Amino acid sequence: MCGIAGIIGGNTTLIQPMLESIRHRGPDGLHYWAEPSIAFGHARLSIIDLSSNADQPMQDSASGNMLVFNGEIYNYLEIKAAIGNRYDFKNDSDSEVILAAYAVYGIEFINMLRGMFAFALYDKQQNKTLVVRDRFGIKPFYYRQDNEGFYFASEIKALLREQENINAFKVYEFLANCQLDTNEETFFENVLQLHPAHYAWVDAEGRMSEQKMYWDFPSPGRKKFDAAAAEEFVALFSQTISLHLRSDVPVGSFLSGGIDSTSVTCFAAAQMSQPALHTFSGILPYFHPENALIEGVLKGNSKLKPHTFPLDGKDFFRDMPSVIFHHDEPVMDGSMYAHYKLCQLASEHKIKVLLSGSGGDELFGGYASYIHAHHATLLKGLKIVSYLKDVKKFSKMGTYSASHLLIKSMYETIPQSLRTMIKNRSLQKKIRHIVQEEKVPHYYHQHRNPYFANLVNNYRSWTAPPFLHYEDRNSMAFGVETRVPFFDHVLIEFVLQFATEEIITGRTKSVMRNAFRGRVPDEVLDQKGKYGFPSPIDHALRTDERGRELFYGHVKETPFLEEKEALALGDNFYNNNGDVSIYWRTLSYVLWYQVFFKKNLV
């Protein structure tokens, strides 16, 4: 993990200030390489092969090819073994394996990589550069391309110039519908990002080719999840965790008490070679159902060494400008702040790698949208008996009534164009304080199977992109690497072999709840609700006058807000009549504008 930056066909003297702006990503050293009209920079966070032999930019001495890479290739040892004596390895890093695999296999080597990555590989013979991003966008790759050349970096701030324009439509998408990283655009008009699961070539003048997709979600399968499948699933998940434990520095994990983080923690503790697994938990000052389960997890496993942070919200507004600075864009919700503080805590305890449970909801149907889409899939397949039985099972769990489930599932069968119209009309009543733009595109992926369409939408647009954004930015703010085992493409391809009704049957995450029995505490697997990462945002917004002062003090000068309606939004919120989510996103946007355009607050 690290920070990367590069210039192709432009002013290479800018490489040093670009890298300096993101040096927090690589506290173990800054390194540069340059030739006429091309330059690479690397801010190193040493995780695998801590020696200077693994410093980047890294050169293939035989070909002269040059690499700058951010991320981890978890199966680097297996790739290295497959290459064997066809390449003269000089160090023990996963970075060199990228150079070697390209030399031996050519462009097809990308499909061999199992991990999180964003890299640029300069092919000296062809005098062009390959740029690649991992399948889910776990690692960032931003760029700007103009008549001055092609510039890329791990964070937007490294690409900003003195005069920037705000991307008005991205502001509207975010404020109206809580969308971030839905496509290649960012909040800055001239800064774009490479699509996940894509690569492109950049020529010597800085002209980028059309991006090409190298991986996509496989079509949903129809297999039964029987006892043999459960055994195979447990073995595969164990292998995935084992690969994510590869590190030459201590590894820790987040632990919220939810199924996802607890599963990762328990499997990691069972397989790790280090003496203890440090866990990091945010604890709210009031009762929280998932928080309440943490103590039982810790008592049941002597290998866990706990660390906690009180999420009382007292420093929320003192820290928030810094959080937004590291994110480069407004922050979606308060869970991102809780995550930020836990990354800081891990850094203070000298833990450089953290395992996260992020992605479990996307893969195993953890959100309400999956329940409704699953029921719609049964309806469309005319499996009426199964549909009614499943609605009854879910309603008995107590979270949703049968009538609610029936209405939502029927809504999911409505044509996409009509759902988009209904959603936009609903939003327009809530967002009168925003200068109106085009209608928000709510649904990006269409498929005859509503469950699969919902899954791909969550991965590509709704939930995974902003969550991966904060996994990276929060951790790298403190020189910590977060790893997300549920975003392993081999694991995802395995799960998608099974029919929808096998993944969630009568309750969310039924595959995990059944297969992990005996490996994860029963009280965790049997919890009914979906609570999410604990957040102090409600408490902080209601009790800290600093938030009120920031909103009313700066809202008038913030672009794309209707002043009168924006002030009314604040008044309604503080009179307990407003939507906390919309108010928070508006305040976050106000703070972002102060940080990046007024150079204020930080």
pLDDT of residue 127 exceeding 80:
yes
pLDDT of residue 284 exceeding 80:
yes
C-alpha span between 442 and 598 (Å, rounded): 32
What's the pTM? Answer: 0.96
What confidence score (pLDDT) does residue 443 get?
A: 63
Q: What is the average per-residue pLDDT within 361-372?
A: 96
Q: What is the average per-residue pLDDT within 344-350?
A: 98
Identify the weakest region by mean pLDDT among 74-88, 91-105, 118-132, 308-322: 308-322
pLDDT of residue 289 exceeding 90:
no
In sequence order, the 6+-apart residues with CB closer than 8 A to the CB of 451 are 220, 365, 370, 373, 374, 376, 377, 500
Q: What is the average per-residue pLDDT within 343-368?
A: 97
pLDDT band at 536 (very low <50, low <70, confident <90, very high): confident
Contact between 204 and 37 (Cβ < 8 Å): yes
Contact between 186 and 170 (Cβ < 8 Å): yes
pLDDT of residue 530 exceeding 80:
no
Superfamily of domain 2-213, CATH level 4: Aminohydrolase, N-terminal nucleophile (Ntn) domain (3.60.20.10)
Whose CA is closest to 154, among 16, 43, 39, 73? 43
What confidence score (pLDDT) does residue 601 get?
A: 85
AA identity, residue 253: S
Whose CA is closest to 434, among 549, 328, 600, 589? 589
Average pLDDT, the chain: 94
pLDDT band at 249 (very low <50, low <70, confident <90, very high): very high
Q: How far is CA 483 from CA 1, 93, 156, 263, 480, in A?
A: 10, 17, 21, 14, 10
The SS3 assignment for 465 reads helix
pLDDT band at 287 (very low <50, low <70, confident <90, very high): confident
C-alpha span between 588 and 320 (Å, rounded): 9
What confidence score (pLDDT) does residue 279 get?
A: 98
What confidence score (pLDDT) does residue 437 get?
A: 63
pLDDT of residue 295 exceeding 90:
yes
Look-up of token digits 């929320």: 316
pLDDT of residue 482 exceeding 70:
yes
Is beta strand 115-123 parallel, antiparallel or unpaired with respect to 66-73?
Answer: antiparallel
Q: What is the average per-residue pLDDT within 561-577?
A: 94
**Got the DSSP string for 82-141?**
HHGGGS---SS-HHHHHHHHHHHHGGGGGGG--EEEEEEEEETTTTEEEEEE-TT--S--
pLDDT of residue 535 exceeding 80:
no
pLDDT of residue 478 exceeding 80:
yes
The SS3 assignment for 298 reads helix
226: its two tokens: 């029987």
Q: What is the average per-residue pLDDT within 496-517?
A: 93
What confidence score (pLDDT) does residue 300 get?
A: 85
What confidence score (pLDDT) does residue 583 get?
A: 94
**Got the DSSP string for 313-363?**
-TTHHHHHHHHHHHHSS----THHHHHHHHHHHHHHTT--EEE--TTHHHH
Q: What is the average per-residue pLDDT within 69-86?
A: 98
Residue ranges covered by each domain of the chain: 2-213, 227-363+463-525, 368-461, 544-596
pLDDT band at 438 (very low <50, low <70, confident <90, very high): low
Superfamily of domain 227-363+463-525, CATH level 4: HUPs (3.40.50.620)
Q: What is the DSSP letter of 218?
A: P
C-alpha span between 236 and 233 (Å, rounded): 5
What confidence score (pLDDT) does residue 543 get?
A: 86
pLDDT band at 430 (very low <50, low <70, confident <90, very high): confident
What confidence score (pLDDT) does residue 579 get?
A: 85
Highest-pLDDT range among 129-133, 410-414, 448-452:
129-133
What confidence score (pLDDT) does residue 587 get?
A: 97
Q: What is the DSSP letter of 598?
A: S
Q: What is the average per-residue pLDDT within 20-27?
A: 97
pLDDT of residue 531 exceeding 80:
no
Express as a percent the part of the chain with pLDDT over 70: 98
Q: What is the average per-residue pLDDT within 16-25?
A: 98
> What are 134-160's pLDDT values in tens digits?
999 999 999 999 988 999 999 999 999
What confidence score (pLDDT) does residue 429 get?
A: 78
What confidence score (pLDDT) does residue 533 get?
A: 65
pLDDT band at 508 (very low <50, low <70, confident <90, very high): very high
C-alpha span between 597 and 160 (Å, rounded): 11
What confidence score (pLDDT) does residue 408 get?
A: 96
